[in-house]
A and B are shown apart, each in its own frame.
Chain A
Amino acid sequence: MKTTKKKKCLELLFLFAAIFILTPTLKAQEIIVTGRVTAASTGKTLPGVNITLKNAVGGTATGLNGEFKIKVPDENTVLVFSFIGFKTKEIKVGNQRYLEVQLLDNIDSLSELVVVGYGTKRRSEVTSAISSISAEDIGKQTTTNISQAMQGRIAGVNITQNSGAPGSGISVNVRGMGTIGNSSPLYVIDGIPGGNINSINPQNVKSIEILKDASAAAIYGANGANGVVLITTKGGRIGEAQINFGITYGVQQLSNKMDMLNAEQYARMQNEARAASGLETYWDDPSSLGEGTDWQDALARNAAVQKYNMSVSGGTESLQYFVSGGYYDQEGVLIGSGFDRASIRINADYQISDIVKIGNRLSLARTNQASIPEDYPFASDNRIVGALQMSPTVPVYRNGSFAGPRGDFEGNSQGPNPVGLATINTVSNEVSNVLNRSYIEINPIQNLMIKSELGIDYTDGDYKEFNPTYDWGITSNSIAQLYRGRSKSFGWTSQTTITYQNTYKQAHDFNLLAGFSVSESRYESIDASAQGFINENVTVLSAASQINSLSEYIEEQAMVGYFGRLNYSYKNKYLVTANIRMDGSSKFGSENRYGIFPSFSVGWRISEEEFLSDLDFLTDLKLRASWGQAGNSQIGNYNYATRLNLSQYYVFGNEQDIVPGVAPISVPNIDVRWETTTQTNIGLDLAMFEDRINFTADYYIKNTTDMLIPVPIPGSSGIAEAPYQNAGKVLNKGLELSLSYQNTIGDFYYNVGGNFATVKNKVLDLGSGLPIPSPILYRESVRLTRTEEGRSIGEFYGYKTNGLFQNQEDINNHASQPGAEPGDIRFVDINNDGMISDADRTYLGSPIPDFQFGFNASASYKNFDISLLISGVYGNKLMNTMGYRLLNGSFIGNKMAAVLNRWTGPGTSNEMPRLTWNDPNNNARISDRYVEDGSYMRLKTIQIGYNLSSDLLEKVGARSVRIYASGRNLFTLTNYSGLDPELGKVNNNNLNNGIDMGNYPVPRSFFLGLNIGF
C-alpha cells in the first residue's frame, strides 16, 4: 500500500465527486389518479401528505383540502402515503382512479426508517442499539441547540449543560465515560462526520439517531468508540410550496439564588473572624449597615429570548427543496452575556434521470456569543463568584458611576464591582460557518447504488475581549487591555459507497455495502493581546500603545478509511449484520497508523415465529445481540514526533532584547496508537397491543483498552507535557430501559414514556498503576479529583471530616492536628498514624450518577395538546467549590448565610466551624464539607398548544396555525445547595467532572409562540 508516487490525489477525487451525468427523463404512461386523504381518528382532511410511487420515481403531496392528483405508470403501481404522526399506507392503484385514503395515527414504529451509518434501515430490521429522536420531539422544545433537544429523551445518553450561559458548551456522554480523555461522541451531519452542531438550527432537523453500541458505531471505525450522533436535516417534499413561519418570544430569569449574608451580618461575621485571630475589628457599628446590596440581584436581569423561523419547502417529482432562514437571539440572565444565531439552510434533491440523482445540503450560519468569565474556580475573576463574594456594604453605584470598595476591609482583594465589570468588559466570540454536503447517487442497474459525497466545513472565528480602564473606590484598572483572536478552519471529506441489495427466493435478503472515505482538515489561528488605548472607543489593535503578544498556530489532520457491511435476513425473522472498517490517521506514526474495527450483530424476531402466532397482542418481539470494536483517536496531533518549541524566550542586553530559545517540550511516543473500545450488547424490543406499548431493554459491557492517557512522567525528565501513551483500561457497563404507552380514546390521544439507565464505571488499569490527579484548577494549587485503578473516573479526593472540636479535651484526644482550636473541624485520621497530614486524604464520592432517568408525556384533545419532559439523575456527588471561599473566615468577602450557624462555644454547632481570620487549622482545605448529593429531578420542558380548527383556517387562509405557551426548567427538585445541580465538566475534561466553580445557572424560561403554515 505504500508508494512514493507524487500524484495530485485530491483533484482526482473531486473529479469523481463532480461527475454530472444527464440522461433523458423517464417518460411515464398516462394514468391519472385523484383522491383525498383524511385522518382515520378524526376524519379531518390532511394537507401535505407525501405520496410517492413504490419502487419508481415520482410523487406528489395533498393540497390544503387534503386532495391530490398524481400520474402513475401503470395499474400495478403502488402508491405510498406517508405523513408525520401517521402510519404509512400503501395502496395498489389497480382499476381505481379515485382514492379515499384514511391514515391511521402512527402507533407503528416498526416500519419507521432509522438512519444508520451510510444508509437507512427499518426499525424492525435493526440489530444494534440505536435510539432516535424525531422532528416532532425536537420541535416541541424551545431549545437553543440540538444537544439540549436530546436531553432526557434517550436511555444511556447523558447530556449536561456545562453552563447555563447562552450559547455555552454541553457535555454529551454515550454509555458512560469510556476514557479519561475526550469522550464526546462523533457527530455526523447529513451523512458526513464533523461540523459545528452549534450552528444548526434545531427547527431544521428531521431526525437525530444515536448509535450506542459498537456494532452500530463500528462503521465509523476510528472515531466511533464514544458513540455516534447522526443528524439528518429536513429535505423537501413533493407538492406545492408550503410556507411555515414561526415566532417565539420568551423571558428568562434566574432560577435560584444562594442565601448570602446581608451587610449587617457580614460586618458582624467579619469582626468575629478577626477578633478570633487577635486582630482589630473593622466595623464599629455593624447594625447601622442594614441590608446592603444583594449582588446576585444586581447582576441578574429578566432576559428576553426571541426566535424567528421561516421555511419554504416543496417540489416536483424530480426536484424537491427545503429552504429555511432562522434568527435566534437570547439575552443572558446575567448582565454581559448573550447569544444570537442567524442561519440559512438550502436543501435540494434532484432526480436527473432514472439512474442519477444529485442533492445538496447547505447551511450558512453565524453565531455570536457574549460571555462573562465563569471558568475560574475559587476566584473573583469568575463573575458569579465575584458577585457572591462582593461585600454587601458596597453599593452598586455611587456618584453616578459604579461604586467600589473604599478600603481593604470592604474587600479590595475579592475584586472590583462585578456588575461594573460585567457591564464595561466585553467578550464576544463570533463564529461564521459554512457546512455543505453534496451527493450524487447512481443506480446503474437495479439493486445497485453508488453514492459519492463531498462534505465541506468552513469556520471562521472572531474573538474580541476588551477590558477598559476604570476607577471605582480603591479598585481600578489603569490600562485597558485587548485580546483578539482570529481563526479559520477548513475541512473536507470525500466518501463513496456502493450498495447492493437483493432478495433470493423471497426469503434471503442481502444488503452489501463497501466504501471508502478521505478527510483532511486544517485549523489556523492568530491571537494577539495589546494594552493602552488613548481613546477607548477605538479598540482596534493598531490603536493600542503596546502589543503584548502575537502568535500564530496551525494544526492539520487527515484520515483515510475503508469499510464494508453485510446485512442478511432470512424471512425477516433472523437478522445478521457484520461490519468492518480500516482507518488510517495522521495522528499516529507510520508503524501504527492503521486500525481495524470489526463488529457483528444478530437479531431474532421471535414474534414472526409460528409458535407465537397465536399471541395476537404481540406486535413485535425481537432479541438482539452484538459485539464490536471501535476506536478513539481524540488526542493532539503529532504526538509521535520530537517537536521543538520555538518560543522559549529569554532576554539579553541592556536594551533587554527578547531572544528566541528552542527546546523540546515533550518526549515523543513513537508507539502511540488507537484507543479501542470493545462492546457487547444484548437487547430486547417488544411491542404489544398494536404498538400501543413499546419496550426496549439493553445491557452492555463496554471495555476500553489501550486507553490514551498522558501517563504522568517524573518532573526530573524536564518535560512539562506528558506524552499520550496507550496505557489504560476502563470498563463501563449498564442497563438501559425505555417504555412507552400510547392510546386514543375518541378525540383524546395520549402517550407516556420513560427511560432509565444505569452506568457503572470502573478504571481497571492506568499503566503505571499510579493514580492520576486532576489538573490544577486555576490559582489555588488544589486538585479536586483523583482517578485510581479499581475506582471510577474522577472521584473527589480530600479530607474526611468528623464534626467539630467542642473543647480542648476533644483536641487532645484526637490525632495531632496542628493549629486546631475548639470550634475547628476535626479531620479524620484515615491512616491512623496519629497525625493529620496529606496522607489522610481519601475518596469522597463519584460525580457519576447511579442512574439517570427521563419521563415524557403528551396528550391532545381536539385542538389542544400538551407535552412535558422531566429528566434527572440520582446518586452522584458534586463538589461545591464555592464553599471554599464562601464558608471560611480566612477569605475576605461575603459569606453564605449558613455561617450564621457557626460554632460560637461548646455545643453550639457540630457542623459549621468557628469563623477565624487566619484559619490556623486550615478548615478551608478540600474536604467532604464541599461534597454534596447531586441528585435532581427537573421539569425540563412543558408546552401547551392550540391548533386552529379547519373552518377557522379557511377564514384566515392558512394551512395551519398553532399557538403555544411553554416553559423550560420551571421546577427542580434537589438537595444541592449551589445555584444549579446540572453541572458538566470543567474544560470538557473528564477528570474535572461535577465541579461547581460558580457556574452560570441554567435559567428558568417562559415562552409564547406562534406557528403559521400556508
Chain B
Amino acid sequence: MYISLNDRPSSRTGGQVARSRGGRVSSVIVTLGVVSLLTDISSESVAAVLPLYLTTALGLSTIAYGFIDGLMQGASALVRVAGGWAADRGDRPKWVAFVGYGLSALTRGGLALAGGFAAVTALVAVDRVGKGIRTAPRDAMISAEADPDHVARAFGVHRMLDTIGAALGPLIAFVVLWAVPDGYTTVFVVSFGFAVIGVAVLGFLVPDRRPRADAARAARVVDTLTPAGPAPSRQFSWRHLTDPRLRRLFLVAGVLGLLTIGDGFIYLALQNRDGFATQWFPLLYVGTNVAYLLLAIPVGRLADRVGRAKVLVAGHLALVAAYLCAGLQTGTAVLTVGTLALLGVFYAATDGVLAALAGRLADPSARASAIGTAQTVVAVARMVAATGFGVLWYLVGPSTAMLAAAGALLAAVAVGSHLARTLDAAPAADSALPTGDA
C-alpha cells in the first residue's frame, strides 16, 4: 500500500509528473477516503440496526419499509446525475459533495431525536438523496486529483477506506446494542457523531478545487507551449457526455449491468441450500466486504497496468464464477466463502474502476456528470436485472436461474470485451500532452 499524507502536486495536466510505480496517492484522495470511511461507519451502523429497530423497538413489520426502500434506490440513482451536473455546472464539486454528506449527517441527528415509522421513512429517504448527491462529485474529485497513470489505484485506495467503514459500521452498532440492550438511540447518536466528524474533515481539510477553471488555466499554458494541443472546454455542456468513447463505456457498463442480478439473490441462493450460509446469513455481506477491501488496491493497480476497461469487463468473470458457485445444487461452507470472495473480486474490479474510466474519458468540465451517468446506467441496469432475474428465480428455481444468469453473463462479457477493446487505447481526454505510455 502506498498511502501517504505527504502532499504532491496534482497532475491534472497529465504527462509531465514523474510516475514511478510506487508513486504516492494524493493526500486529498486519502482524505476523501477517510470522509467516506467515517460516513460509511455512520450509515452502515444505522442500516444494520434499522430492521431490528423497526420491529423490536417500534413494533412494526418491515414490509412497508422494504417497499419504500426499493423506490428510494431508484430516486437515488437519478439524483446522482443531478449531483454530477451541479458539480460540473458550478465548478464546485467539493461543496456539492459537502451538501450531500451534510444532508445525510443531519438525518442521523434526526433519527436520534425522532422515532416512529413516518419519521424513519422520511429520514431514510433524505439520507438516500444525500448519498445520491455526493457520489459523483466526490468521484470526480478523486479522478481530478489522481495521477493519470494511477487513477484506478487511487480509486482503489478510496474504495478500500470506504469499505473498511462499511465493515466497521455494523460491528460498532452491534457492540453498542450488546452493551446497551435496546440502545437504538445510542447507536443513532454514535452514528451522528461519525457523520459530523466526516463532514468536518471534508469541509476543513479537502481543498476547494475548481476543475474547470484550473483546466482552463492549464490550457492557456499548454497553448503557449504546444499550440497544437486541443484546449479543454471551459463550459459545461451535455454534449461532452455524447463523446463516442464515453457512450461506448456507458453501453458496456449497461450491457454488463443488465446481467448483474444483485448480491441479495446470490446470498439467498446460498442460504437456500446450505445450513452454513443460513446460520451466518446476516453476516455474508461482511465476507464480501473483507474480500473487496483487501483487493481494491491490488486490482486497481492491475487495472492501471493492463487496462481499466479490460479489468472492468474481466471482473465480471468473477461474477460468472460466483453465479456458478451459487447455482450448484449442493453447498459447502468452503463454497460459500469462495462465492463471497469472488463477489469481492467483482467489486474490486468494477466499482472504482468504472469511475476511474469515466473520469478519464470525460472532458474535465463534465467529469462529475460523466461519472454520475455511468453509475446511474449501472444502477438502473442492475435494477432491471434484479427484476428480471426474480421472475426467472420463481419460474425455474434458484439453481437453474443462477446457471442461466452465469451463461448469459458470460456471453455479455464476450460482447463487452469486444465493445470495450478501444477504450483502453483511447487517450485520456485531458491528457492533451503526449504521454510515454497509454
**Is the pairing of A and B real?**
no
Q: Give the B-binding residues of A (Cβ under 8 A).
A: none
Q: Give the A-binding residues of B (Cβ under 8 A).
A: none
